[in-house]
A = this chain, B = another copy of it.
Amino acid sequence: MSEKGKLIVISGPSGAGKSTVVNRAIEGRKDVCFSTSVTTRSPRPGEVDGREYFFVDFERFREMVEKDELLEHAEYVANRYGTPRFYVEQRLNEGMNVLLDIEVQGARQVRKKMPEAILIFIAPPSLEELERRLRGRATDTEQAIEGRLIRARQEFQEADFYDYLIVNDDVEKAAAKLTAIIEAEHCRFSDWANWLRSN
């Protein structure tokens, strides 16, 4: 493949149906992959270094941050997680579209370090519907649901720098929109230069 891939950042609150939409959209596609994160947490049984995660110690993680080797990083339950720039670049150069499923704060870091990344926010049709879905799952305590709703509202307010919004009122339609965005972005003017050079 000669054409470079696109880095696609996907965010959205828990309950928006993000994973379902993304998995439906990339089903059977060989030109899309998820990025592999770096983490300081220990591998769980069956996890392979470089497959589920790149496992590193805190010392190495700190070094990666200092040397600007991460496109974004965050802390979660006393461990650190990040997206390795080198790995992403490599996949993009191979022509792969690389997906990052990260939160709004991480997306903001990516936008700064790789402005050509495509930022997509997947939202539920409304906050009422999000609440209904979260309660329907019946996996969270009342307190956890309240927390998720407050967080979702916050995320929406902060996400004004995203390129695209997909409202997930129907998984098939939302997946088709994601597919259309990837296709459209490959027609972007940036590839123009290549055309001109070859003519």
Contacts and interface: CB of A to CB of B under 8 A. Distances in A.
Interface of A: 120-121, 123, 126-127, 153, 156-157, 159-160, 162-167, 176-177, 179-181, 183-185, 187-189, 191-192, 195-196, 198-199
A162 B189 contact: yes
Given A126-B199, A195-B123, A199-B156, A164 B187 contact: yes
A159 B126 CA distance: 40
13 contacts: A121-B192, A126-B198, A160-B189, A163-B188, A164-B187, A165-B189, A165-B192, A167-B195, A176-B183, A177-B184, A180-B181, A181-B183, A184-B184
A163 B189 contact: yes
A165 B185 contact: no
B165 A187 contact: yes
A120 B127 CA distance: 36
A196 B155 CA distance: 11
A177 B167 contact: no
Nearest to A165: B192
B189 A180 contact: no
A162 B196 CA distance: 14
A125 to B, nearest CB: 9
Given A160-B189, A179-B180, 9 more contacts: A121-B192, A123-B195, A127-B199, A162-B189, A164-B189, A165-B189, A177-B183, A180-B183, A180-B184
A175 to B, nearest CB: 12
Nearest to A118: B184
Contacts of A156: 195-196, 199
Contacts of A191: 165
